[in-house]
Amino acid sequence: MKKLLLILLVIATASCKQTDATTAKTTDAIRSSAAYKDYVNAFNDYQSCKEERPAITTAYMKKELTAPEFEKALEKNAKACSLKKQVFKTRWQLLQNEYDKLSEEYEIKVD
């Protein structure tokens, strides 16, 4: 009985290692792709845009900007962030499409 349990444990461990290797290979292929790099750049660009808003508000609170300048700066930032968000979402969709292709190639089943 102990031998059977040991054999099942070894088989389970071996099968997990094989799955991990396939997953790691797929992950490396995705991370090295141009679509992933474009996605990361778009995300970082969008994130930096969102982080500009507190700086604009701080400048207004310190009286470095007048009310009309503050409104224009917020409006400009909102438009820029909206465009960057669209680019980010598009890059995300492209990355998903690339993952779908790789998952078919490596026969990864997503539940």
DSSP code per residue over 58-94: HHHHTTSS-HHHHHHHHHHHHHHHHHHHHHHHHHHHH
Low-confidence stretches of the chain (pLDDT beneath 70): 1-27, 102-111
Residues whose CB is less than 8 angstroms from the CB of residue 90 and which lie 6 or more positions away in sequence, other chains included: 42
CA dist 94 and 21 (Å) reads: 25
Task: Sort residue 109 into left (φ over 0), alpha (ψ -120 to 50) or beta.
Answer: beta
DSSP state of 1: -
In the chain, domain spans: 1-32, 33-106
Q: Is the pTM of this model over 0.85?
A: no
The confidence score (pLDDT) of residue 109 equals 58
Q: What is residue 14's predicted lDDT score, i.e. its pLDDT?
A: 56
pLDDT digits (tens, 9 = 90+) for 74-85: 999 999 999 999
